[in-house]
Amino acid sequence: MSDAQLFILYFVLFLLTIARVKELISYEKLEEKYERFTMLAESTCQRRNELKYYQQVKYIAHGGPWTNFALVREPAERFMSGFMTVCRNESYGTQNCEGCVRDVKCALRKTLERSQRFAMGDVNAISTLSWHLGPQNWHCDFRDNLKNFKLVHYSPTRKDKLAEDLRALLKEGKVDNSDIELIAFQISNGTTKHATSHLHVKTEFNEQMQDDEVQRLLIKIFFWDYILLNFPLPDVKV
């Protein structure tokens, strides 16, 4: 092949590469717009059938019977899921992970510091990081109404158990069988766009979770989650 032919070949390959890059960029922009649209669509439930406080539910029930339950997650597993949502890469974590992108120990230290400030009454301590990674028992009005909740343990590795538990609860709440089976099917076979359990990078973060200091930080932050939500405390070296 002559030099001229090689030049033409390389030039064609270059043009094809540029075209592919443009295609990928366009696809990423389209995907970003789609995700924003999805978030807007999901937000239409706000102020319609979405309630935020236990007292709101109690008021709407007008004294009638209802089954009140909450899905709760093993604290370390929940932390890892939140960490991978907020801190696994620069594109999202730069603004929200407070300098702890891909660093489990750093994120735990930040969460502990903010949680301690919030517990002392500093409402400015709440951030995207602490909201995703802080204690579960600070949500859902658990502080004053935990006794009124039936707690359902959730794990993406035990979807069948979750579906079984929900079947019993929904049946108790007199939900139609067809609706119960639809919900159970979707739980057993589906996931959400926020799911993180399938991500390959989880292996790297799980290795960081084995660090002794990380384990101690988990206990400091989530001790009452383990106790109140009925999860066994991990065996941690003091």
**82 closest CA partner among 197, 188, 212, 208:** 197
In-domain check, residue 45: no
- H or E element at residue 184: helix 177-189
Q: Which of 34-38, 141-145, 209-213 has the lowest mean pLDDT?
A: 34-38
Residue 72: CB atoms within 10 Å: 22
> Per-residue confidence at 159, pLDDT binned at 50, 70, 90?
confident
In-domain check, residue 17: yes
Q: How far apart are CA 113 and CA 238, in angstroms?
A: 20
Query: How far apart, in Å, are the Cα atoms of 196 and each of 77, 84, 106, 220?
Result: 11, 7, 20, 24
164 and 151 belong to one structural domain: no
Query: For residue 101, what are the domain limits?
Result: 61-156+195-229
pLDDT score for 201? 65
97 and 208 belong to one structural domain: yes
Give the residue-averaged pLDDT of 37-47: 49
129 and 224 belong to one structural domain: yes
Residue 88: CB atoms within 10 Å: 19
Q: How far apart are CA 112 and CA 6, in angstroms?
A: 61
Query: How far apart, in Å, are the Cα atoms of 52 and each of 36, 140, 146?
Result: 23, 7, 15
pTM: 0.71
In-domain check, residue 174: yes
Q: How far apart are CA 39 and CA 21, in angstroms?
A: 27
Whether residue 35 is predicted with pLDDT greater than 70 in this model: the reply is no
pLDDT score for 227? 94
DSSP structure class, residue 153: E
- H or E element at residue 181: helix 177-189
pLDDT score for 108? 96
- Residue scoring higher pLDDT (31 or 235): 235
Whether residue 144 is predicted with pLDDT greater than 60 in this model: the reply is yes
- How many domains are contained in the chain? 3
- Residue scoring higher pLDDT (90 or 102): 102
Length of the chain: 238
96 and 85 belong to one structural domain: yes
Q: How far apart are CA 46 and CA 48, in angstroms?
A: 5
178 and 71 belong to one structural domain: no
In-domain check, residue 48: no
Q: Which of 33-47, 115-129, 201-215 has the lowest mean pLDDT?
A: 33-47
Query: What is the pLDDT of the chain when averaged over all its residues?
Result: 77
Q: How far apart are CA 67 and CA 151, in angstroms?
A: 11
Which residues does 184 contact at the CB level (< 8 Å), separation at least 6? 163, 164, 166, 167
